Structure 1
Amino acid sequence: MRTKRWHLALGVGLLLALATACNFSATTANISSLKIGKDKDVSSEASNFAPTDTVYAVAAIANVPDKVKVKARLLSDAGPIPGAETTLDMPGSGTAKFNFSPSPEGWPKGKYKVEIQMLNDDGQQKDQKTAEFTVS
């Protein structure tokens, strides 16, 4: 019985050593939160905006071992809004802040969403969050 335990412990130890030697990385990088509001720090979340309001988004990027790109875009029921897309390079975990200003005519009334994507150096999406709001 002791021999079996010893072999099991040895096997697990060898697997751990092999994983470490191969630079094994199990990342749980994620967008831990997304808030939208009417001020740049989103001190108070909002879900209803006037046609002339600037929409601010704050995304918390967590557990990032290396640099990532954080892409934000604004979508309406009809799809992505042209020109309402921004990408930030982040050196690691932190806060990504975005703002979307209306045209001089204002936002058309309707339902919208802010979409945040986290991409690695290869452009692969690692996480995504959305927040919905209404312009009335």
Structure 2
Amino acid sequence: MRTNRWSLALAVGLMMAAVLACNFSATTANISSLKIGKDEEAKTETSDFKPSDVVYAVAQISNTSDSHKVKARVLYDDVKGQDSGKVVPGLETTLDVPGARPVMLNFTGPGKNWMNGRYKIEVTMTDKDGKQIDQKTGTFTIAGGSSSSSSSSEDNANESSSEHGSGH
């Protein structure tokens, strides 16, 4: 009888351990969100802009205390005369991000004006060995006003990885 009690207790203990193990989830470093807006912190998200607007994006890096590389770039998605998937000249940047924090980015169109059409922001997070950990994308549309197709050689992508950072 005593053996049966021990067997029953052992079986119940193993079942509880299995249930608890199934409910355990280890979190991994990731980009938990990507917001696009008209202000530095993208408090009010939008996807509609004018050719002269600055486009702000905030990528939230989460679940890490390690440093990671974050690469952000703007691609043509559906812009007349441009190849879809091609990086907009001057709108690509890579930075080291220490730990979990928001990465604040801002982009101005080539030549200070965007061409009308749809664009994609792509943010990729990699570890110290260059292995991709996560990626988020978001799209925005430029419409109205006059748009310029001239490009500038100056870097139009600006970033900050501080809580209250602004573009440089």
For the superposition of Structure 1 and Structure 2, which TM-score range results when normalised by the shorter chain? Answer: 0.7 to 0.9
Query: What is the CA deviation profile of residues 77-103 of structure 1, one whole-angstrom value per residue up to 9, with x for unaligned ones?
Result: 222212211112111101101111113
2:129 maps to what in 1?
122
Residue 86 (str. 1) matches residue 116 (str. 2): no
2:111 partner SS: coil
Whole-angstrom CA distance in 1 between matches of 2:62 and 2:105: 17
Query: Does residue 100 in structure 1 map to residue 107 in structure 2?
Result: yes
CA contact (8 A) 2:89 2:110 kept: no
Corresponding residue of 1:61: 61
| TM-score, normalised with respect to structure 1 | 0.78
- In the other structure, the counterpart of 2:71 is 71
Rg larger for: 2
Query: TM-score with structure 2 length normalisation?
Result: 0.64
**Among the aligned pairs, what percent are the same residue?**
50
Q: Aligned in 2, Cα 1:64/1:127: closer, same or farther, shift over 3 Å?
A: same
Gaps of 5+ in 1: 13-25
The count of aligned residue pairs is 120
Q: Which runs of 4+ in 1 moved over 6 A?
A: none
Cα deviation for residue 105 of structure 1 reads 5.8
How far 1:3 sits from its partner (Å)? 6.4
Does the 8 Å contact 1:88/1:96 carry over to 2? no
User: Superposed, which structure 2 residues align to 1:3-14 within 5 Å?
Assistant: 5=10
Distance (Å, rounded) in 2 between the aligned partners of 1:53 and 1:105: 9
Q: Deviation digits for residues 35-63 of structure 1, max 9, x if unmatched?
A: 01111111211111111111110011000
Q: State the alpha-carbon separation in 2 of the partners of residues 135 and 83 from structure 1.
A: 18
Q: Which has the higher strand share?
A: 1
3-state SS, counterpart of residue 111 of structure 1: strand
